[in-house]
Amino acid sequence: MAAKKLQSIRGIHDGLPAEVRAWQRVEAAARKVFGTYAFSEVRLPVLEPTELFVRSIGEATDIVSKEMYAFTDQGGDHICLRPEGTAGAVRAYLQGGLTRSGGQRWFYIGPMFRRERPQKGRLRQFQQIGVEMFGAPGPLEDAEILAMAHAFLSELGIGGLQLEINSLGCTACRPAYREALVAYLHERADLLCETCKERMDKNPMRVLDCKVASCQAELSAAPEMVNHLCASCESHFAGLQAGLKALQVPYHINARIVRGLDYYNRTAFEIVTDQLGAQGTVLAGGRYDGLIEELGGPATTAIGFAAGLERLAMLLGDSEPAVVDIAVVVLGEQVIPYSLQQAAKLRQHGFSVVHCGGGSAKRQFKAADREGARFVVVIGKDEMQAGVATLKNMATGEQQQLAFEQLVNVIRD
Ligand code: ATP
Ligand code: MG
């Protein structure tokens, strides 16, 4: 009886070659564009102390209350697989003693873990491309960060994306707004879904982005933060919009944009598509001026965003398959060592080369075909002695005998 095959955990996918090629296209665009804004890559741990997220994200959030993969390890430490990147980035910034170095501009690419209900575009292990700017005093930084996000997605050539911005206010103006919102929600409590009822008092702003249609209908006249901003939040929001206009980044104000995490203030934004159904947010972020202090550092302004790598990859067209430039076909046992050397030399020229391993010519040509090789280089005993090879162009069928140096030029053209 055949052994039972094990499956991966639900919502946790393998990145097989074709998919990884799409991811790499997204990553390459990120590295290129973020580099032009002078952002540096950081690589941060996947395991963090659970307390880091409880303190930063907040216990009332979905992430901390029910989505974290948290456990006690053999030594009794409470650790978890990171559900997002910002808290760990702030921890690293403080631990690395970088607070006196002026601003920091970071980006990272890596896996995040949330125990969500798996569905299209919603995984339990997914990858984020995240950006954090520590020391981002004003709306100008917000505008530039958004312009960078926009440039990144433009570089990928994904159409039909929309930037939506909002202001979440600050500790001066949000409490009064929150009260007005909670009062509004209480008046309609019976008409809201169970989740909204639960969130109403603990995390009322989250009710605003409930996906249930009947809730959205009840919320149509809900008070909006943008109409309750204090003077300095108001001028920040106006400054952001002026910056976006100067940079010619198109945007919409969407008063329903909130962030799932507690630490955001003022600017919040999402870039959305209508092509992925309910999971249409490909990039989301905002300003979090209080977080660094909350985690034990000096008061530091900051802003960041994270993009879902898998969701972006789904929006790309098919990626080119990996190209094999040359398949080496060997005729005769005694030629094998020499053919291995020639294959290695061709690789030094930068070509991707597969060696077909010897044996019958028919089998080797079949293998070359399967690999999709652009050229086949045939080496037999006579060719070896003469220092030449037969080059076959697989697209045209054309064959010619050439010295190795010439062969390199023909393939390169
Ligand atoms: P959503 O509203 O879709 O749950 P979120 O507010 O939880 O998103 P963030 O924490 O802001 O998402 O994460 C930033 C981005 O990471 C999202 O916009 C999305 O593209 C991606 N993302 C978040 N959760 C998942 C997931 N479970 N699977 C795949 N991608 C995800
Ligand atoms: Mg979520």
Q: State which ligand 1 atom lies nearest to the alpha carbon of 128.
A: 16
* pLDDT above 70 (res 4): yes
Residue nearest to atom 6 of ligand 1 (CA): 260
Task: Give me 327's structure tokens.
Answer: 């398949």
- Strand 265-272 and strand 252-253: the pairing is unpaired
Q: What are phi and psi of 384, to 5 degrees?
A: -60, -50
Beta bridge partners of 71: 79
Percent of the chain with pLDDT over 70: 100
Six-digit token pair at 247?
A: 């940079």
The CB-based long-range contact list for 397-406 (8 Å cut-off, 24+ gap) reads 404/342, 404/345
Residue 394 has pLDDT above 70, yes or no: yes
Task: Give 48's strand partners.
Answer: 80
Cα 148 to chain center, whole Å? 14
Mean pLDDT of 75-88: 97
Q: How confident is the model at residue 106 (pLDDT cuts 50, 70, 90)?
A: very high
Work out the mean pLDDT of the chain and round it to a whole number. 94
Atom of ligand 1 at shortest distance to CA of 84?
Answer: 10
Least confident of 35-44, 49-58, 200-209, 343-352: 200-209
Whether 67 is in the pocket of ligand 1, judged by its Cβ within 6 Å, is no
pLDDT tops 70 at residue 229:
yes
Domain covering 17-173+229-316, topology = BirA Bifunctional Protein; domain 2 (3.30.930)
pLDDT at 260: 67
What is the architecture, at CATH level 2, of domain 326-412?
Answer: 3-Layer(aba) Sandwich (3.40)
Q: 202 pLDDT band (50/70/90 cuts)?
A: confident
User: What was the pLDDT predicted at 127?
Assistant: 98
Q: Which of 132, 143, 113, 61 is nearest to 305 (CA)?
A: 132
Amino acid at 377: V
With 0-12 CB in 10 A as exposed, 13-18 as middle and 19+ as buried, what is 378?
buried
Provide the residue ranges of all domains of the chain, joining segments of one domain with +: 17-173+229-316, 326-412
Distance (Å, whole) CA 301 – CA 95: 17
**Nearest atom in ligand 1 to 124's CA:** 27
Supply the pLDDT for residue 76.
97
Residue 259 has pLDDT above 90, yes or no: no
- Chain segment 233-247, per-residue pLDDT in tens: 999 999 999 999 999
pLDDT above 90: percentage of residues in the chain: 82
Please, which residues bridge with residue 106 across strands? Answer: 40, 132
- Comparing 173-177, 205-209, 258-262, 399-403, the range with the smallest average pLDDT is 258-262
Which ligand lies nearest the alpha carbon of 123? 1
CA of 41 to the centre of ligand 1 (A): 21
CB atoms under 10 Å from CB of 280, counted, come to 16
Summarize pLDDT for 117-147 with one digit per residue, the tens.
999 889 999 999 999 999 999 999 999 999 9
Exposed/middle/buried for 12, CB within 10 Å: 0-12, 13-18, 19+? middle
- Which pLDDT band holds residue 263 (cuts at 50, 70, 90)? confident
